Chain A
Amino acid sequence: MVSTIQQEEETSISLKSKKFVVWLFVVSSTIMFGGWTSYYLVFMASKGKGHGLVLPEVFTYSTVVLVISSICLFLAARALKRGKANQQRLFLWITLVLGVIFGVLQFQGWTSLYQTGAVLVNNNAAISMIYIISGFHLLHIVAGLAFVISSLLGNYNNVSQEVAEYRQDITSIFWHFIDILWIYLYVFLLLNS
């Protein structure tokens, strides 16, 4: 009896510390993008030029899509806390679809950049940098989708409330992070043209 309680307690400590792991990953990922944006700033300061482009309109749409997906994920988390599993499932699905749409829009953005001649292999490293940071951000989206799927699977398999909330929590931490990250990157690129 005592040891069961103890064990449960240890499980919840372990879930808590695993959640913290996600936070630390967020920190290190932020720093990686910080490395690129500082490259960009130092490059701009020493060469006296940025990417010098009008960014494709598609990026604005993709930003909106990503923000909406974040809102849906928030609603999914709220539904779970209120014990409405069906609602959570619905919102997770919407988040998933919006995430995929975001990816498609990013590809369209790159296509229109490519068509205007702002290609990856460029003598202006600032333009190459647009591809690097949006590309690596998209990789994070892929990872984020994996988190969303794990929450969805938890929902379908009726895992315990504690585990379901844990999965939903790490999904939320990560997804909101990549949402904010994209807004930062997009605004950064808009301001430093």
Chain B
Amino acid sequence: MSTISLHDTHHDDHGHGHHHETFLTKYVFSQDHKMIAKQFLITGIIMAVIAMLLSILFRIQLAWPDKSFPLLETFLGKWAEGGRIKPDFFLALVTIHGTIMVFFVLTAGLSGTFSNLLIPLQVGARDMASPFMNMLSYWFFFVACVIMMGSFFIQTGPASAGWTVYPPLSAVPKAMPGSGLGMTLWLISMILFVASSLMGGINYVSTILNMRTKGMSLWKMPLTIWAFFLTAILGILSFPVLVAGVVLLIFDRSFGTSFYLSDIVFGTEILSNEGGSPILWQHLFWFLGHPEVYIVIMPAMGLSSEIIAVNSRKPIFGYHAMVYSLIGITVLSLIVWGHHMFVTGMNPFLGGVFMITTLIIAVPSAVKTFNWLATLWRGNIRFTPGMLFAIGMVSFFISGGVTGIWLGNASLDINLHDTYFVVAHFHLVMGAAAIFGMLAGVYHWFPKMFGRMMDVKLAYLHFWVTFICAYLVFFPLHFIGLDGVPRRYYAFTEFEFMDKWITVNILVTWSAIIAALAQIAFLFNFFYSIFKGKKATQNPWQANTLEWTTPVERLHGNWPGEIPTVYRWPYDYSKPGAEEDFIGQNVPFSQTMSSNLPHDFEGNEEGERIQREWEAVNKPVQE
């Protein structure tokens, strides 16, 4: 491809970094991947705060179902008449909380931010394959957010059928207040969102496959890039199925077809729709929905792998195993969707097949978990804020993952289905874990994004309060679920057997409130440090990957001169014989003669010969 090895001395006539930029093209309709990453991050943070506030609202309802809070009426008006949240609004709250968290925060906010930021920087590219499509991806996402939030300002309120929008609640506009315009807006917002995700994902895959710098073979890519790559592939394979399902749902709602509807009776009125089946929606939805939870967790895994290796000052344990387990998770996640549907009257044999595929996912997940622990083992650990959150991610992934093995068993799931046990499970394994992975990424790459450092003490406060409170919120829910309490119920006082759990709900709600308050420490730290934080050095964490070879000033085009060439894998930390405990990927082996190992040369005999000759002269023979 390239035969040019001369160094470029005429940077000034280089095409990048010298566009005439206006405020509009630099900050609003930017096509620079780093700016788009920041746009995704800040939009994601705003959406996360909104979703968190929604959760506090329904947690208040769950803890004090019969108490009146006049303040709620002041803010929410008719949705909290008499200071009590109405049942319809309660359902809207859980629906929109779930939708925002899963799609807008943990898919767009997480993948959108870090894939955009890190893919070009870590593979050594000037920008994405199609910067224009990348910009469109953000703006589709932004409009999707606006439309979703807009549904709070309409008469009938937002969609209320749960984030999985099962028909018939979602397919019959008069089923409940949220099934009307709110549901329509939800569907429009989601189509825009899927378009955004696909444009993003397609860009990520194309960039990784076509635009890596010289020497950056697939097996020299950092685990972050592997994770983003496989996440993007998973998105490309599964999101279109959601579109297919949503299109049919829209036709059912608006044109009167019967894809998902049959035998519906309202009082004395029989709906004319006939012959469809709501189970078919569940198949189409979960064919996306299950890969979606891996779309959420895999970037968090990639970020954590990188951060744990950097801050343990050790190579990641089992790099190849980490990659193969990500591939394993990607493949398996496409054939397990049926475990969400064990109670739909599924053929028990088919249920057994889905059960086996589901339980097999425990294997790659465990490989990853043990590799993280083995990386930490006897490491020279630096407890930076990013590191704490990465370890927190591992903790939540274990705690939540273990209950996944329970739920994957059809015989247990039939009992636990739709109870608080499920809520506890997925909030730990994909909620808290993914959020912690995302926060780890924010703390770790903040210097790369803004050229400044975040405050460490505030970060510690943020970590410990959030970590402890997250466990206090989600752990007790397991026991409520084991007792058979169904999720999404409006008031625990309505049923005698649920009454005894009110006190636990009060503990959970208080923990949630404290955790929410702790986020103020983060928000302040984040926005304050953008402007007033300590100035960052070029490589503040002494990491090996290419993004730390770019200047702190963040140019359009990333590197002022030629893009660095890659010679080694990204995990040469604490290599015996090296002068420092890290060796950047762009450092050739000729500069590290004292630490080279035979396998570094990957069978290159010339390299091995030179190394042997050097060692014969320079190295004393060790006893």
By a beta-carbon cutoff of 8 Å, the part of chain A in contact with chain B is 2-7, 9-10, 13-14, 16-18, 20-21, 24-25, 27-29, 31-36, 38-39, 42-43, 46-47, 120-125, 128-129, 132, 136
Chain A residues within 8 Å of B126, by CB: 10
Chain A interface: which of B251-259, B306-314, B439-447, B528-536? B251-259
Of B209, B274, B275, B277, most buried by chain A (CB within 10 Å of CB) is B275
Asked if B330 is an interface residue, CB under 8 A from chain A, the answer is no
Interchain CB contact under 8 A, A121 and B256: yes
List residues 125-146 of chain B with CB under 8 A from any CB of chain A. 126, 129-130, 133
Q: Which residues of B contact A128 (CB under 8 A)?
A: 251, 257-259
Which A residues are in CB contact (< 8 Å) with B284? 35, 39
Can you report 27 residue pairs joining A to B where beta carbons are below 8 Å apart? A2-B4, A2-B6, A3-B13, A6-B4, A6-B562, A7-B14, A9-B1, A14-B129, A16-B210, A17-B206, A17-B209, A18-B130, A20-B210, A24-B201, A24-B206, A24-B236, A27-B236, A28-B198, A28-B236, A28-B237, A28-B239, A31-B237, A32-B241, A38-B283, A39-B259, A39-B284, A128-B259
Q: Which residues of B contact A (CB under 8 A)?
A: 1-2, 4, 6, 8-11, 13-15, 126, 129-130, 133, 198, 201-203, 205-207, 209-211, 236-241, 243-245, 247-248, 251, 255-259, 272-277, 280, 283-284, 287, 562
Contacts of B15 on A, CB cut-off 8 Å?
7, 10
Inside 8 A of B202's CB, which chain A residues have their CB? 21, 24-25, 28
Determine the chain B residues whose CB is within 8 A of the CB of A13 once the complex forms. 210-211
Name the one of A3, A31, A43 contacting B14, with C-beta atoms under 8 angstroms: A3
How far does the alpha carbon of A20 sit from the alpha carbon of B130 in the complex, in Å? 10
A20 CB to nearest B CB, Å: 4
Q: Roughly how many angstroms separate A120 CA and B258 CA in the complex, as a whole number?
A: 10
Output the nearest chain A residue to B232 by Cβ-Cβ distance.
A24
Distance, CA A154 to CA B2, complexed state (A): 28
The distance in angstroms between the C-alpha atoms of A17 and B247, with both chains bound, is 30
Complex CA gap A14/B15 in Å reads 14
> In whole Å, how far is B51's beta carbon from the nearest beta carbon of chain A?
27
Q: How far is the CB of B127 from chain A (nearest CB, A)?
A: 9
Q: A31-B238, A128-B259 are in contact. List 19 more A-B contacts (CB 8 A).
A: A4-B13, A10-B15, A13-B211, A17-B209, A20-B206, A21-B130, A24-B205, A24-B236, A28-B202, A28-B237, A31-B241, A34-B241, A35-B241, A36-B248, A39-B245, A39-B248, A42-B280, A122-B258, A123-B275
User: Which A residue sits closest to B276, measured CB to CB?
Assistant: A125
Given the interface pairs A3-B8, A21-B130, the reply to whether A125 lies near B240 with Cβ below 8 Å is no
A132→B248 contact, CB < 8 A: yes
Asked whether A20 and B129 contact (CB < 8 A) given A3-B8, A7-B15, A13-B210, the answer is yes
State in angstroms the CA–CA spacing of A18 and B134 once bound together: 12
Interface pair B236/A125, CB less than 8 Å apart: no
| Chain A residues touching B, majority SS | helix
Q: Say whether A123 contacts B205, CB under 8 Å.
A: no
Flag if A31 contacts B206 (CB, 8 Å).
Answer: no
How far is A29 from B244 in the complex, measured between Cα atoms in Å? 10
Task: Check B206 against A21 for contact (C-beta < 8 Å).
Answer: yes
Our pick among B11, B240, B275 for the contact of A31 (Cβ within 8 Å) is B240
Supposing A9-B1, A42-B280, A47-B275 touch, asked if A35 and B244 sit within 8 A by C-beta, the answer is yes
Task: Using CB atoms, name the residue of chain B closest to A10.
Answer: B126
Are the CB atoms of A46 and B236 closer together than 8 Å?
Answer: no
Report the separation of the CA atoms of residues A111 and B241 in the bound assembly, to the nearest whole angstrom: 29
B10 touches A20 (CB 8 A): no
| Bound form: Cα–Cα A9–B210 in Å | 13
| A3 x B10 contact (CB < 8 A) | yes
A125-B257, A132-B251 known; A21-B129 Cβ under 8 A = yes
Q: Which residue of B lies closest to A4 (CB)?
A: B13
Residues of A within 8 A of B272 (CB): 123
Nearest CB in chain B: distance from A174 CB, A: 14
Min C-beta distance of A12 to chain B, whole Å = 9
A69 to B492, CA, bound (A): 65
Complex Cα spacing A72 to B1, Å: 33
Question: Given the interface contacts A2-B8, A35-B244, A128-B251, does A18 sit within 8 Å of B257 by beta carbon?
Answer: no
Which of chain B's residues has its CB closest to A37's CB?
B244
Q: With A and B bound together, what is the CA distance between A130 and B225 in angstroms?
A: 41
Select one of A7, A28, A46, A122 contacting B240, CB under 8 A. Answer: A28
Q: Which residues of B contact A39 (CB under 8 A)?
A: 244-245, 248, 259, 280, 283-284
Whether the pair B240, A29 counts as a contact (CB closer than 8 A) is yes
CB pair B248 A123 closer than 8 Å: no
Do B255 and A120 touch across chains, with their CB atoms under 8 A apart? yes
Report the bound CA distance from A71 to B205 in whole Å.
Answer: 31
